[in-house]
Amino acid sequence: MKNTKPKSKVAPAGAAKRRVSRPRSAYSKDEIREIFRRFSIQRPEPKGELEHVNPFTLVVAVALSAQATDAGVNKATRALFAVADTPEKMLALGEDRVRDYIKTIGLFRNKAKNVIALSRKLVDDFGGAVPRSREELVTLPGVGRKTANVVLSMAFGQATIAVDTHIFRIANRICLAPGKTPDEVEARLMQVIPDDYLYHAHHWLILHGRYVCKARKPECERCVIADICKSPEKTCDIPAPLVELPPQAIAAAQ
């Protein structure tokens, strides 16, 4: 007698992977466009808040900003960049003196070592010039993908998304581009942000996270996208008036 028990179906290779739905943006394309339209009205020309005078000092400032505030980095680097604004000058200064300039910044000993090492590599491998590709930038000591993306955007005008703690928090909190890692969030933001808003999107999101959608307690009553926001933490549905903010006061030329 034949076994009439139905055979179990064998799932094709990769089926399990397909069944796991990747987190997606909670917003429609029109909603995302409206979010960034409002950010563009509020801050037409957003800027990074790390002071620098050229691509080299920008690389150094961003590398120093890991686990530190921009204000704290600016306070330390004003005097440093006044005497060492090129890799050659930084090498001439030496690690001990660099360390003295940045000793108010967290992890200053290791960061001083990296500043000298990246200056050496720039001189030896790149003729003293900051490279214009992510692949080359991340070969510099103390420079990761986030730092490279900031430099590509601010120094060379490339549309990139540098996922720092603010952007990582915002992307997940408001369900704009959920991801478990900075790389995942970066990839999803690059997919959902309209091309015509992409260049400034990095700074809009950082400034929104720094001054409105704050880590400990978001100030929803000051948010221009409160009516669109889908965050479960949201405390207000009425958007703040959509007006242009005063220009940012950035001391050093950008």
Distance, CA of 174 to chain centre? 17
Residue 83 is classified by DSSP as: H
Close Cβ partners of 185 (under 8 Å, ≥ 6 residues apart): 163, 167, 168, 171, 172, 177, 178, 179
Which residue bears the tokens 């400990």?
216
Q: For the chain, state the CA radius of gyration.
A: 22
In one-letter notation, the amino acid at residue 132 is R
Which residue bears the tokens 């990139």?
160
CB atoms within 10 A of CB 98: 23
Alpha helices in 2-139 (DSSP H): 15-19, 29-42, 55-64, 70-83, 87-93, 95-101, 108-126, 134-137
Please state the length of the chain: 254
Comparing CA positions, the residue from 252, 165, 166, 158 lying closest to residue 209 is 166
Helix axes 182-192, 145-154, angle to 10 degrees: 40
Please work out, in degrees rounded to the nearest 5, the angle formed at the alpha carbon of residue 219 by the alpha carbons of 214 and 222. 125
Residues acting as catalytic residues: 146, 164
CB atoms within 10 A of CB 44: 11
In one-letter notation, the amino acid at residue 74 is N
